[in-house]
Amino acid sequence: MRKAKKQTLFYQESTQTIRQAPENYLIAHKHGSSWNCDPDLACNKKFAIAVFTALLDYNTKYGSGLGILKSAGFENDPQTISK
């Protein structure tokens, strides 16, 4: 039996996106100075809801990608990938 890989979120600096690993599904992207939650339809819905809920806060919406991950409850394993 195959062991399922752990799903998590990561922030990719070069494209200013928040994505789901290991599948690389888009969850949110930065447009100008604010973030938009525009998730891929195949992504984990709980992750998308957590990020969307975090973006409802004004300070988070205009903050950094890692700040959004921390507000969404991923403070234990936020990852930044530069390329």
**Does this model's pTM top 0.85?**
no
Of the candidates 14, 50, 53, 17, the residue with the CA atom closest to the CA atom of residue 35:
17
Residues 13-32 have pLDDT tens digits of 899 999 999 899 999 999 99
Give the span between the Cα atoms of 39 and 18, in whole angstroms.
9
Mean pLDDT of 19-47: 93
pLDDT tens figures, 48-81:
999 999 888 877 778 888 888 888 887 656 565 5
- State the pLDDT at residue 77: 60
Query: Residue 63, class by beta-carbon neighbours within 10 Å (0-12 exposed, 13-18 middle, 19+ buried)?
Result: middle
